[in-house]
Structure 1
């Protein structure tokens, strides 16, 4: 199976290129090879490669900047996935696409399920939801995986920012009234590989066999995929500092969202129930265990 992987230099894309090895012929592209803001290029690349599966972790993720760059965020997060889905339909291909907790308003007390109605409060959230809807409307076999609070050992993310600031400051003032599940990008990639293996196993095909659309249509769809458990940004920061023995130990002070205003509104509750994914495909680690593994390798 020929797999087209976008965003090869991004956090999730970097890990996916490694975890998907052996599951097909992987063609990994970075922004210089397929720029999602250039819809004609996206279309031409897919027609040239002719993949049986498109895996799309690439996205516009500058949440606050998106409030000003609305058109660009919509083009990359909504219009580009729509083009991918249209071209996939012509090829008889499937698609794995990644979305976000920001599609919800964060007002629910419990964890959000896949049945809950999205109500994004930011341009970023609206653009990601539009991408989801475009893929679903295309009718192609797909997996849409919503995740949250993604971090890793490379790129730009909260973990690396905290580790840097912990070396520079005596106090870190961190928001404590937003709840979520910090999710290691490797967790996302490994869970994706498990899901793909399960799809192939249910179809009774070998790793290099053609895509079984019936299996994808019956077991595909929308799933939530995050680490298990919950914490706040403040709690996440405390765990980062505690687990990283090489860091000095700054005071981690809790503050409120109002104390740290940002252009884009954040959900107060970003918790996503992953029961459907775990029952269908595989278990998921707790956020704290995954964080330890990530930092142990840094």
Structure 2
């Protein structure tokens, strides 16, 4: 124990600016990693692994050889198990890191056009909420939804409130599923979305809400839900569901999020092109 304390004291004494910066960067990475798994089943599993890691040195100090042997073997075998168990979270993290502005910059850059598209969506949502028609609409952002689109029915139609309302009419072929919107086009309907594994969400929420949260956990899409039972409007973003929107509030938040994301992507794209051009000129 004294050796550990002396090692910590010596490390602190020998720290310089770069060591502090290194610690801050690592802390930030761990924080972002925790935010990605927060309120998911991975969080509980991570706590269990943390407990095992704490028990290993304690079992060594107390000379609990059998317990120490079991814990060490558990950690050794557990590496592969962690990859298998955490597969959805690992995939989500890699997708989050790997989102690139070069993948798809075909976003609506004109503010008037963007507002028109959102107005059509919100008008349809408000009308369906008033009639208590269940609906699930996903607006694609930088993360491609190709896998989701493939399991639905391709439409490729211009976004309009009338078409969206018709899609979700009860007992029609496409009403029971999600409609995917990309830029100003309705690309597919009747799509099946992945359900969330988060067991801490309200048990009263139905399949539509769980599907909305599930897709928002695996992508940066904006998912709108209209409850068939209550007519309440909800919005799922980054694994979180917020409820009780009215027409004006929904339009305002959608415009704010989509404009901010668009501006960041365009700015990042221009910066990357600028750096690429500078590097190209320097090589010449």
The two structures have a TM-score, normalised by structure 2, of 0.23
Larger helix percent: 2
The two structures have a TM-score, normalised by structure 1, of 0.22
If asked which structure has higher relative contact order (CA below 8 Å, sep 6+), I would say 1
Larger radius of gyration: 2
